Structure 1
Amino acid sequence: MSPSETDQVRGFWEDLGLPGIFDVHTHFMPKNVMDKVWSYFDSVGPLTGMAWPITYREDEDVRLATLREFGVRGFTSMIYPHKPDMAAWLNSWGADFGRRTPDCVQTATFYPESSAGGYVADAIAAGARIFKSHIQVGDYSPNDPLLDPVWGALQDAAIPVVIHCGSGPSPGTYTGPEPIAALLHRFPRLPLIIAHMGMPEYVEFLELAERYGHVRLDTTMAFTDFSETSWPFPVSARPHLRDLQDRILFGSDFPNIPYTYFDALHAVARLDLGDDWTRDVCYSNGAALFGPIKLP
C-alpha cells in the first residue's frame, strides 16, 4: 500500500462528506484457509486466461491496518466452507475474530449437512450478525432440504446472508437466478445480499430484488475495469440501480482483488448516479443495516 493510495481512498469519502466507508464484503479467514484461497487465485490465470494477482497479500495485522488507514469504519470476515464438517470450526474462528476486532461485523457460515441447523443457531446466539454462503465453491443447492432450518432461522432473526450465486467468474452446478428465485419463493422475507451484483446475471438478480423487499446486492468487483472486460454491466440496467438506492451495498472483496481498493470505489462513483446514491452505497446503507460499529 502506498501513501498515495491512502490519500486517494480517504479523499474519496471526505469529498462526499462521509465519515468513512462501510464494506460488507471483505475476507478474513484462518491463515491456512486464506493460503489455500490465494493458491487458487494464483492458479486461476492458467485456468481461465485471466491473471488474478492478490493486491493485498499481507499478514492479517497488516490487512487490518490497511483498511483502518483507508477509513473503512465497518467490514466483514467472509468465511465459507468447501466441504462438510468445516463450517462450525470456521464459525468458532469468526466469533473469536469478531471479539478481538470490534470494527468487524461478526461473520458466520454454513454448509448443507445435518448439523447445520444446530451450529447456525449457536452462531446466532454467539453474536453472528451476517452469514456467508458460497454455492459455487461449496457446490451445493441453496434448496437442499438440509438448509431449510438454516434459512428459516436466518429469516426469523432477520440476519443478512451474503450469497455468491451468480455464474461469474465461472458457473457452478447451482449458480444463476433460478435457484435463488425458488429459495425466495419459499422464504420470501430472507434478507439475502446478492454478492457481485449477481454477475453476470445482473438484470435477473436486480429484478428479484425489486420483487422481494428484503433482498439487497453488493457491488463487489462489479463495474471495475477488470470485470467490465468479461462481464459488462448493461447501461440499460442503470435505472434499476437508482430504484434500489437503499438496497445496494459497497463490497470490495479485499484482499483478494487484482486491482486497488480505490479502483473499486471509483468504479461505483463513475456510474454517475449522483452523490446521494454514492453516499448511500458506500457508507449509509451498510451503517443503517448493521448499526453502530465500535472503532478499535
Structure 2
Amino acid sequence: MTDQADDDSVAAFRERVGLSGIIDIHTHFMPDRVMRKVWEYFDSAGPLIGRSWPIEYRDEEQVRLKTLRGFGVRAFTSLVYAHKPDMAAWLNEWTADFAARTPDCLHTATFYPEHHAASYVDAAVEAGARIFKVHVQVGGFHPGDPLLTEVWGLLQDAGVPVLIHCGSAPTATDFTGPEPIAALLQRFPRLRLIIAHMGAPDYGAFLDIVQAHENVMLDTTMNFTDFFEAADPFPVTERGRLLELGDRILFGSDFPNIPYTYDHALTALERLDLGQDWLRQVCHDNAAREFGL
C-alpha cells in the first residue's frame, strides 16, 4: 500500500517536469484469483522470473486504483494475458466489465493461438477494446503461429495497438527476441505494436525495428531502474536513439508487480538526462496522441 511519501515523490517529479498527469500504458488489473496466481508465481521466483521479485503494491483492487490515481495517473491499462487455451475470451469479458466501471482505464483485451481466437478478438474490437496485450514468453507461443494469422489481420485493419512482451528478459524462450517480430511485421507491416520493456535485452535490434516501422513503439516498463539495470542494462551507446525516437516511446510501470516504489520508475527516466520535453512526451503526450486522450 502506498504512503504519503510515495505520493509526494511522484508529485514532485510531475512538478519538476511540468506534467499535470501521467499516462501509464503498462499496468495490470486482473480477476482476483488470476492476480493472486501471478503473485504466487513471482513469490516463488518461477522459471521465467529467475530471481527474488517482491511485489511492492500487493493490495486489493480498489486500493490499487486509489494508489495509481494518487500518483496523478490519469489513464492506465488492465493488462491480462492468457497462458493456455480457453482462457482469453473470459479474461476479455472481465476486462470489458472492468473498463465499464473504471472510466480512466483503457479497455484492454488479449488473445491466444486457438481456433476461435479471431471470433473473440473481433468481438472485443467491436465492444471498444483500445489495446490488446499478449505475452509470448508466458504463453509459450510464436507470434507467427498460423492460428493467429486472422487475428493479426483483424487488428492491423482495426488499427488497435497490441502491447507485446516479446523480448527475452528476464528469461529467454524459443519464441522471444527480435526475429519473430521482424518476421511478423513483414507479413503485417501496418500493425500497431508496442514492444514491452523496450525489447530487453535486445535493445538495439528492437530500436532498429521501431526505426523501420512507423507504427511500432516501445514502452519503458521497468527499464533504467536499478533492479532492471542490474540484470539487463541499457547500452549507453544507444541513448542517443532514445532522444531520436522520443515520439515513439511510452511510459509503462508494470504496477503493481514491481519490486520498488513507483516514483523510482519515473526518476530512473529522469536521470537519463534527456530533457523535460522528452519526459513529457514519454510520460504523457505520446500516449495521449496514440489513444486520443
Secondary structure at the aligned position of 1:62 is classed as: helix
Give the match for residue 21 of structure 1.
Answer: 22
Please give the per-residue CA displacement for 1:153-173, whole angstroms capped at 9, x wherever unaligned: 111111110000000001122
Native 8 Å contact 1:164 1:198 kept in 2: yes
* Structure 1 CA distance for aligned equivalents of residues 263 and 222 of structure 2: 12
- Secondary structure, aligned partner of 1:22: strand
Q: d(CA) in 2 for partners of 1:257 and 1:18? A: 23
1:63 partner letter = R
After TM superposition, which residue ranges in structure 1, 4 or more long, deviate above 2 angstroms? Answer: 45-50
The one-letter code of the counterpart of 2:183 is: A
1:144 and 2:145 correspond: yes
CA deviations 1:138-166 (Å, max 9, x no partner) are 00010001101111111111111000000
User: Structure 2 matches for 1:1-296, cutoff 5 A?
Assistant: 1-44=2-45, 50-292=51-293
Quick check: 2:111–2:133 contact (8 Å CA) kept in 1?
A: yes
Tell me how far apart the structure 1 counterparts of residues 270 and 94 of structure 2 sit (CA, whole Å).
35
Contact 1:45/1:52, CA 8 A, preserved across alignment: no
- CA shift at 1:51, angstroms? 1.5
Secondary structure of the 1:210 match is helix
**For residue 191 of structure 2, what is the amino acid of its counterpart?**
L
Structure 2 Cα separation of the partners of residues 47 and 275 of structure 1: 35
Query: For the Cα contact (< 8 Å) 1:208–1:215, is it kept in 2?
Result: yes
Q: Which amino acid in 2 is paired with 1:11? A: A
Following TM superposition, by how much is the alpha carbon of 1:50 offset from its aligned partner in structure 2, in angstroms? 2.4
Unaligned stretches of 5+ residues in structure 2 = none
Classify the secondary structure of the residue corresponding to 2:174: coil
Distance 1:127 1:26 in 2: 19
Counterpart secondary structure, 1:133 = strand
* 1:45–1:51 CA contact under 8 A, matched in 2: no
- AA matched with 2:5: S
Amino acid at match of 1:16: V
Q: Which amino acid aligns with 1:82?
A: H
**Equivalent residue of 2:96, what SS?**
helix
Given residue 259 of structure 1, which amino acid in structure 2 is its aligned partner? Y
Partner deviation per Cα, 1:249-276 (whole Å, 9 max, x = no partner): 0000000000110000111111111110
Instruction: Supply the distance in 1 between the matched residues of 2:269 and 2:160 (Cα, whole angstroms).
Output: 25
Kindly indicate whether the alpha-carbon contact (under 8 Å) linking 1:14 and 1:20 is maintained by their aligned counterparts in 2: no
Measure how far apart 1:240 and its partner are: 1.3
How far apart are residue 45 of structure 1 and its match? Answer: 7.1
Superposed displacement of residue 15, structure 1: 2.0
Aligned-partner SS, 2:45: helix
Distance (whole Å) between structure 1 residues aligned to residue 201 and residue 47 of structure 2: 21
Partners of 2:27 and 2:117 in 1: how far apart? 23
CA–CA distance in 2 between the matches of 1:36 and 1:69? 26
- Identity of paired residues, percent? 64
TM-score (norm 1): 0.97
- Determine the C-alpha separation between the residues in 2 that align with 1:242 and 1:290: 22
Q: CA deviation at 1:105?
A: 0.3
- Runs (5+) with no aligned partner, structure 1: none
Letter of the 2:274 counterpart: L
Task: Return the letter of the residue paired with 1:69.
Answer: G
CA distance in 1, matches of 2:215, 2:142: 21
Change (3 A) 1:81 1:46: closer
Listed one character per residue, the Cα deviations across residues 168-213 of structure 1 (whole Å, up to 9, x for unaligned) are: 0011220000000000000011000000000101110011000001
